[in-house]
Structure 1
Amino acid sequence: MVVIVVIVLVMALGGTGENPRNPPSADVKITSCTVDATTRLPSAGLEIHNHSSKASTYGVTVEFKAPNGTRLSEGAALSLTVESGQRVKTSAVGKDQVTQKVTCKVTKVNRIAA
């Protein structure tokens, strides 16, 4: 529950890491997109590479869609104090169970300089 509160706080503070030459969205890529066979929760593996000049906190929102484009779930990831130039791996897990393959899309990235 604490993680959710922190994610909401980071998302609410968004915009402080915006730089049109180096947008936060360019720092995040999806490395995997799966549905866990046991829990049926979708998950997106993420890699964050801080291209900014300062250590930053990242809040990332991911949506999970069915092959026909229907949105099935969403999830979020939070990475604290990612140093300039550092790469970190994390994941965003959906909150709703699904019974089919999904596609994953990063819908929002907030980068807040420390």
Structure 2
Amino acid sequence: MVVIAVGTSTSPSHPPSVDVKITSCAVDSATRLPTARLEIHNHTSKASTYGVTVEFDEPNGTRLSEGAALSLTVAAGQTVKTTAGGSDQVTQKVTCKVTKVNRIAG
């Protein structure tokens, strides 16, 4: 499994991308849908909402599917676990890559 995190930020000292970690990346054998399990840890001092986009790729880098996860009101210092599922069925192994993280305080 290859994991790459890329994010957006309004605070260069603490970009939202460092708050998100992919903990597993797999294709469900029954549905053939790719899934990435995510762990989001709010390192800021304010409750925040997180929107995370994940890309599911072939090992050579070709995109096969895309998915997203939304976690509302993650308290300061809190860690939450969530899942981003792809919308396209695939038949081979995939790599997962976080392509965008939006963190909105409040």
Report which of the two has the higher share of helix.
1
Q: What RMSD over aligned residues (CA atoms) do the two structures have, in Å?
A: 1.0
Distance 2:24 2:74 in 1: 21
Give the match for residue 101 of structure 1: 93
Is 1:91 the counterpart of 2:75 in the alignment?
A: no
Structure 1 residues 1-114: aligned runs within 5 Å = 18-114=10-106
Identity %: 78
Distance 2:10 2:31 in 1: 36
Does the CA contact (< 8 Å) of 1:18 and 1:111 recur in 2? no
Report which of the two has the higher share of strand.
2
Distance 1:21 1:75 in 2: 27
Q: Runs of 4+ in structure 1 displaced over 2 angstroms?
A: none
**1:67 offset after TM fit, Å?**
1.2
Q: Which amino acid aligns with 1:61?
A: T
Instruction: Give the TM-score of the pair, scaled to structure 1.
Output: 0.84
Offset from partner CA, 1:60-83 (integer Å, 9 cap, x none): 000000012110000000000000
**1:18 offset after TM fit, Å?**
2.1
**1:40 offset after TM fit, Å?**
0.3
Any gaps of 5 or more consecutive residues in structure 2?
1-7
Instruction: Give the TM-score of the pair, scaled to structure 2.
Output: 0.91
Q: Which amino acid aligns with 1:34?
A: A
